[in-house]
Amino acid sequence: MLKKSIRISRADGLEARSFAKLVQVASKYDSRIYMETETKRVNAKSIMGMMSLEPAADEVIIISADGADEAEAVSELEGFLVENTAV
């Protein structure tokens, strides 16, 4: 299992379009992937779960992945959240 704390640097935090892209990225990996804040842990492959997370700009999220492709999954999700890259 791989865990990584990531600070969201997207100025707008995350909104519906960002959640949809994030879920698409997570869904292409076989690993189990979760995202959590101080108060909630959700499946990163679930659009409803991700929307309920409601992370704001400059908030810390923990990504955890468990599986054969966990490193790749965490790396790509980190790029989306930190570097403002469109996936």
Give the pLDDT confidence of 9-54 residue by residue, as tens digits. 666 667 778 888 999 999 999 999 999 998 899 999 999 999 898 7
List the beta strands (DSSP E) in the chain.
2-7, 32-36, 41-43, 60-66
Give the Cα separation of 4 and 52 in Å (integer).
Answer: 20
Among 9, 57, 13, 62, smallest CA distance to 35 is for 62
Kindly report the pTM of this predicted structure: 0.85
Task: Give 17's contacts (C-beta < 8 A, 6+ positions apart).
Answer: none
Q: Which domains does the chain have, with CATH numbers?
A: 2-82 (3.30.1340.10)
SS3 call for 77: helix
